[in-house]
Each structure stands twice: as structure tokens, then as C-alpha cells.
Structure 1
Amino acid sequence: MLRSALVVCWSHAAAAAMFLLALTPAFAAPPPPRSPRVVALIREAEAALERLDIARARDLWAQIYDIERSTVGICQLGQLDRRLGRWVDAVVELTRCVQEMRPPATPEEQKLYETRHADLAAVRLEVAQLRVFAPAGAAPVLVDGRLVDESGQIYVAPGQHEVTARLPGGRTARSTVHVTAGESLAVLLSPEPASVRSVAPPQATPAGTPARPAGLPAPWLLYTGSAASGAFLVSGIVLHIVASLEDSALRAEMCKPEWEENGETRSAMHAIDAKQHISTAALVAGSSLGAATLVVAVLPSGPQVRAIAGGAEVRFTW
């Protein structure tokens, strides 16, 4: 008798519990309402869209997302950035939008789900994707100053980009890449050689001390070049004057009525021609040597060309 009473009591208790559980969703607290500030911003953003003021609508949705970080907000930002042609921002926002969307439960949600995926695929065709493989312990890893997350993936605009990573010990891994729209590229960073990064720090100069030009050439080199250039120029000028005087005298002699051509005349003409050729060569040599000496004096350190290949930086100097 007692056992039957207990069974009946447990049955009534179980039925009451199931009834309460069934009523819980109906009487559950509704989601918290949006703040008046968010409602006002949404209305203003919708009005901006009706005026086709996309930039203003994007700014308003950014403010909404800062207050209320929702999937709707990130999806709206992705759509607006796509219409503004801000492809890198759009692909990041639409990627998060697709990741945060819940599985569709109705035909309308299914259509919206497919639309968002199609938008993301279209935006990806306008950007490039880099997958950065950095050495162990490298932090931070940057692409044009933008931080790369733990996945190593980052979207960039088509063109040239610099990828850097700081390694333990102060060394740097660096690479420069060029990508096109729709391209996906893996970037393997390697440390710079120690000889490249070891640069002596500049020495402190006391206040009031005039700056000294770095890398001046040896004085004897300038003196020797200047002296040799002057010697060539002077000898060339002297030979040119002597040859011109001898040529004038010979032509005056040839104009006399009693002049007759002989072997001495031909020898004199050959000698004059030789002196003129030697004077010309001396003038050219002196001018070239003087120009070279001037270049060495004006450009003591020489320009440098820096080439980056395979993650290492190489300098060429001439």
C-alpha cells in the first residue's frame, strides 16, 4: 500500500516538473532591448543609405558596432566597405560575418547565408592573401606595419609589401613580396646575416664641434690626381701652341716663290701632326683625370644600392 502511494507521488512530481520545463521557454526573459542610442544610430544609418550616403552609413554602423558587437553589425560593415571599395577591410569583416552566422533554419535565412558567402567570395578576388611562416619565437610579425595573428594569414591589397619579424636576440627576419589580386602566397622568413645587422652606432659629438664628413678619401689621392691632371693639361696646351707656331711658319715658307718641296718639308709636316695628336691626347687625359678626381672628392662615401632577396639584405656600393 505504501509502495503504491510512493509511485503515485513520484508520477505526479515528474509530471509537474515536465510541465514547468515546458513552460520555461514561454516565460523566459526576453533578450535585453537595444539602448535608445543604438536605435537612433540605426535609424540614422538607414536614412543615410536611402540618401545613398554610403560613407556616412558606414561611419554610423562603426559606432553601432563599438557599442553593440553583433553579427548584424559586422555584416553591415562588410557590405558597406565593399560598396566603398575598401577591399581589405571588407574581406576581414565579411569573413567574421560568415563565421558568426548561425546555420540557416528558414528559407529566408538560407538565402541570406548564401548571399553572404557569395559576397565574401567576390571580395576575395579583389585582394591577395599572405601566409607568413616565421621562425620559432618570432614576435611581432608585421606586414607593412600590420600585425599578423597566430594563424599567420593576412589579407593585403595587390602590390608590393614588406614582411618583417623580430627574432629573439634582436635579429630581424625580413622579406619583400609582390602579389596580384586573387593571389595566395606563402612567405618564408629567414634571419638576416649577422654581418648585415651589425652596424656600429654613431659616436656622440660634443656640442659646438663642427661636423666632419664621413669617409673622406686620402689627401694624397686628391693631390696626386690634381697634379697629374694639371701636368697633362699644361703639356697638352704647350704642345698645341708649339705645333700651331710651327705650322704657321711652315705655311709661310711654303707661300714663298722660291719654295720647293723636299724631304725636310715632309718630315716637318709629320712632326707637326704628331705634336697636334699628342697635345689632343694630353688634354683629354688631363680633363678625364681631373673629372675623376672631382667625383672622388665630392662623393667620398659613394651611393649605395640595397637589394633584398631570400629574406637577407645585401648592399652594393660603387
Structure 2
Amino acid sequence: MAALVREAEAALDRLDIARARDLWAQIYDVERSTVAICQLGQLDRRLGRWVDAAGELTRCVQEMRPPATPLEQRLHDTRHADLAATRRQVAELRVFAPAGAAPVLADGRIMDETGRIYVEPGPHEVTAVLPDGRKARSTVRVAAGESRALLLSPAPAGLRPVASPPARPAGAPAQPVAPPAPWLLYAGSAASGAFLVSGIVLHIVASVEDSALRTEMCNADWEETEPARRAMLAIDVKQHISTAALVAGSALGAATLVVALLPSGAKVRASARGAEVRFSW
């Protein structure tokens, strides 16, 4: 181990960053120490491997012990500043998958138990496999420095065949189908609007607070304290609630629209060619 450390330091002195990075990776495989993960984060940052550097510096900051001396305090502040600068080069996804879904993949990379992963700016596909074999899949586009919460919904199950209604004797009058009650449409529209408005407001509030907190983290004298951790947790909760409210509002609005637009007596029937919709007047 000591020989590997000396060789890695010698490679760094020669400015052979790639070789130093490979050696520290070997050291980390042997002993998963805080020093090794911090060194990997710094070297990947210098190599422009921003996604790897963001994950490694995040673990570095989480594992660092509270500073006890001025030197440790300066190192502590430097690591936090490096992490903040690196996170501005990547995007962060926080994925909420259905219960029992495993594994959860982002572009083929398996997420850990936190459901968070750093990705390059641009489009990404996130997939989860449910216990019954169905897949929950979503595509998202993110920008550098953005943190996005993503709610995965499972693919709908196959349509069940609908039994044919009993034959009506010839000449018998058709039974009128009652239209949907107006109060149902009004209530659905109002509830959908309330969910959407509350989700948008919460998303704006959380985004403003998150931007303010990130700006504060970039200050050289910023220190992670218990109030700061509570503030980050509160922002996460608001973002999760806003996402759930937007999804609920959209689903409720779509259901209300379907009820309002489908003619009375419309029926959905599964066939060998797919799904067909039949109407009766």
C-alpha cells in the first residue's frame, strides 16, 4: 500500500495525472479510505471527468470528519468549494420508482439506494423493472447545474376484454345512457387546477431556495451546519411534493377531459388488432 501511495505521489509530481488517477483507484480498491476517494475526486476533476468527480467528491465530503485544526478547516472548506464547482458542470437526477422496482438504471448505470445519480447535461433515459416484469421508463433532458426529481410510472397493463352486452330484442327501445353529472366535471377541473397551481408554486419556491443555498455554498467561509442540512432536507421535501402534485393534477385533468369529451355510451373493447372504441347513440 505504501509503495502504491509513493508511486501515485511521484506520478502527480511529474504531472502524469492519468497515471496518478489509476494508482489511486488501485489504492481505493484495496482500502476504501476517505483520503483515497478525495484524491480520486480531485484527479477526475482535473481530467475533466465531471460525473465521476461529482460522485467521488460527494462521498469525500460526506466521509470527512469535522475539522479540529485550522489546517483541517482549510481542507474542509476547499473540498466543499471543489464539490460546488464540480456540481455546476453536471446535472443531478433524483428518481422515485414504484415499490419493488429493481434495478433502476440511468443510461445503463445502476443507481444506489439513495435514488440519486449525477449525469452529463442532455437527454437521459431512466428505466426500472417491476416484479411482474413490466417496465417503468421515462426520458428527461437536464442542463448543467440542474437538479431534477423524476417520478417513474409503470407501463399500463394490457386491456382486458369487455363482455358483450346482452342482445336487445328487435324493436325494443334503446336504454338511454345518462351523461356524466356536471358537478363531477366541475369538481375534477377544480381539483386538477388546485394540484397544478400548488405544484407550480412549490416548485418555484423550492428552486429559489435551492439557488440561494447553492450560492451560499460557493462562499469560501461556508460551513455545513445542522441548520444548513435541515434547509437542504426541506428543499428536497418541497420538490418531491411539487412533483407529486403536478403528476396528480395532470392525471386528474386528463381523466376529467376524457369523461367530458367521450360521447355517452362510449365503450373501449380490446381486439386482436389492438384497442377499439365503440360509440352508441
Measured against the shorter chain, the TM-score band is: 0.5 to 0.7
Whole-Å Cα distance in 1 between the matches of residues 129 and 32 of structure 2?
33
Answer 1 or 2: which has greater helix percent. 1
Give the alignment partner of residue 47 of structure 1, picking from 10, 15, 19: 10
SS at match of 1:194: coil
> In the alignment, what sits opposite 2:157?
194
Number of aligned residue pairs: give it.
160
Give the alignment partner of residue 29 of structure 2, picking from 55, 60, 66: 66
Whole-Å Cα distance in 1 between the matches of residues 61 and 40 of structure 2?
13
Give the alignment partner of residue 147 of structure 1, picking from 110, 113, 124: 110
Whole-Å Cα distance in 2 between the matches of residues 130 and 111 of structure 1?
30
Whole-Å Cα distance in 2 between the matches of residues 61 and 49 of structure 1?
11
Quick one: which amino acid aligns to residue 7 of structure 2? E
Structure showing greater relative contact order (alpha-carbon pairs closer than 8 Å, 6 or more residues apart) = 2
Give the alignment partner of residue 123 of structure 2, picking from 148, 160, 163: 160
SS at match of 2:92: strand
Q: Deviations over 1:60-86 (max 9, x none)?
A: 111111122211111000000000011
Whole-Å Cα distance in 1 between the matches of residues 29 and 102 of structure 2?
28
Q: Deviations over 1:205-225 (max 9, x none)?
A: xxxxxxxxxxxxxxxxxxxxx
- The yes-or-no answer on 1:119 pairing with 2:111 is no
SS at match of 1:190: coil
Whole-Å Cα distance in 2 between the matches of residues 151 and 68 of structure 1?
23
Quick one: which amino acid aligns to residue 59 of structure 1? D
> In the alignment, what sits opposite 1:265?
none
Whole-Å Cα distance in 2 between the matches of residues 150 and 62 of structure 1?
23
Quick one: which amino acid aligns to residue 104 of structure 1? P
Q: How far does residue 133 in structure 1 lie from its aligned partner after superposition?
A: 1.1
> In the alignment, what sits opposite 1:97?
60
Q: How far does residue 191 in structure 1 lie from its aligned partner after superposition?
A: 1.3
Q: How far does residue 164 in structure 1 lie from its aligned partner after superposition?
A: 0.5
Whole-Å Cα distance in 2 between the matches of residues 175 and 101 of structure 1?
35
SS at match of 1:162: strand
Whole-Å Cα distance in 2 between the matches of residues 168 and 66 of structure 1?
33
Q: How far does residue 193 in structure 1 lie from its aligned partner after superposition?
A: 2.6
Quick one: which amino acid aligns to residue 116 of structure 2? Q
- The yes-or-no answer on 1:176 pairing with 2:139 is yes
Whole-Å Cα distance in 2 between the matches of residues 40 and 137 of structure 1?
45
Give unpaired runs (5+ residues) of structure 2.
Answer: 160-249, 251-281
> In the alignment, what sits opposite 1:253?
none
Quick one: which amino acid aligns to residue 146 of structure 2? E
Quick one: which amino acid aligns to residue 41 of structure 2? G
Quick one: which amino acid aligns to residue 187 of structure 1? L
Q: How far does residue 195 in structure 1 lie from its aligned partner after superposition?
A: 4.5
SS at match of 1:92: helix
RMSD: 1.5
Q: How far does residue 40 in structure 1 lie from its aligned partner after superposition?
A: 1.2
SS at match of 1:155: strand
Give the alignment partner of residue 92 of structure 2, picking from 108, 129, 135: 129
Q: Give the TM-score taking structure 1 as reference length.
A: 0.49
Q: How far does residue 178 in structure 1 lie from its aligned partner after superposition?
A: 0.8
SS at match of 2:117: strand
Q: How far does residue 194 in structure 1 lie from its aligned partner after superposition?
A: 3.1
Whole-Å Cα distance in 1 between the matches of residues 94 and 157 of structure 2?
26
Whole-Å Cα distance in 1 between the matches of residues 21 and 156 of structure 2?
46
Whole-Å Cα distance in 2 between the matches of residues 151 and 60 of structure 1?
28
Q: Deviations over 1:86-128 (max 9, x none)?
A: 1111111111111111111110000000000000001000110
Give the alignment partner of residue 86 of structure 1, picking from 21, 24, 49: 49
Whole-Å Cα distance in 2 between the matches of residues 135 and 43 of structure 1?
48
Whole-Å Cα distance in 2 between the matches of residues 149 and 63 of structure 1?
22
Q: How far does residue 150 in structure 1 lie from its aligned partner after superposition?
A: 2.1
